[in-house]
Amino acid sequence: VAASVVMRLDRSTILRAAVLLPPLLLPPGARKTVAAGTFTSRPGEEPASLSKSGLVRVDRDRSVVLGSLSKIGGSTVLVPGQTRPQRVPVQPPSHSDSNAMRHDAAGLVSVKRGGESFLFTLTPRPNKALDRDEVVIGQVMDAAGMEVLERLNNLATNNYNKGALVIVKVDRAQVVQ
């Protein structure tokens, strides 16, 4: 399975990268995320979406983390004892999948082990430290995608949380056959 990820940097599309996602290695929660680009945790709720999600942080030469949701979805519920309805956001999917792939190359795509997060990580360089907390689900397949990953890796960041000083948005994530 290949996924197409489109990224935008300051209103200009800079990446239409194909990402290889081996079906046997893709955790069910991540499969649902990439296939639809949306999440729901209960029937009838508004879905959370990866569309327009943002860059979370750049740890230069170690990881580029994307998936900060701009649309958290969820539902409004009545809570006994409360006078106003409460907004309950969509909960991230969980999974128990694992594989033998390691973060031993540039351009790998991974998600947190066990799920419970909408974030995904790209590796600009090999980073075996990610093996403990992340499971590899794919890789950037083309040279243009690797060039953009390198540009993201070199973005100026703040010293507080390694957030980029420019706006980076994921326009969409979808499966292409």
pLDDT in tens, 105-117: 998 888 888 777 7
In this prediction the pTM is 0.75
Res. 177: pLDDT tops 50: no
pLDDT of residue 61: 94
Q: pLDDT band for position 126 (50/70/90)?
A: very high
Instruction: Please count the residues of the chain.
Output: 177
Residue 60's CB is within 10 A of a number of other CB atoms, namely: 13
pLDDT of residue 2: 57
Residue 100's CB is within 10 A of a number of other CB atoms, namely: 6
Residue 156's CB is within 10 A of a number of other CB atoms, namely: 8
Sign of the four-CA dihedral 134, 139, 144, 145: negative
> To the nearest whole percent, how much of the chain has pLDDT over 70?
72
Look at the block and give the residue holding tokens 């990953």.
149
Look at the block and give the residue holding tokens 């990866």.
50
Res. 25: pLDDT tops 50: no
Res. 24: pLDDT tops 50: no
Contacts of residue 67, Cβ cutoff 8 Å, sequence gap at least 6: 50, 53, 56, 117, 118, 119, 120, 170
Res. 78: pLDDT tops 90: no
pLDDT of residue 21: 54
Residues 27-72 pLDDT 10s: 455 455 445 566 777 778 888 777 777 788 899 999 998 877 777 7
CA 131, 136, 139: angle at the middle one, nearest 5?
130
Stretch 116-135: mean pLDDT: 89
pLDDT of residue 1: 52
* CB contact at 8 A, 167 and 152: no
Q: Measure the CA–CA gap between 109 and 88, rounded to whole angstroms.
A: 29
Q: Kindly state the helix (H) or strand (E) to which residue 86 belongs, with its residue range.
A: strand 86-88
Q: Which of 86-95, 118-127, 160-169 has the highest mean pLDDT?
A: 118-127
Res. 79: pLDDT tops 80: yes
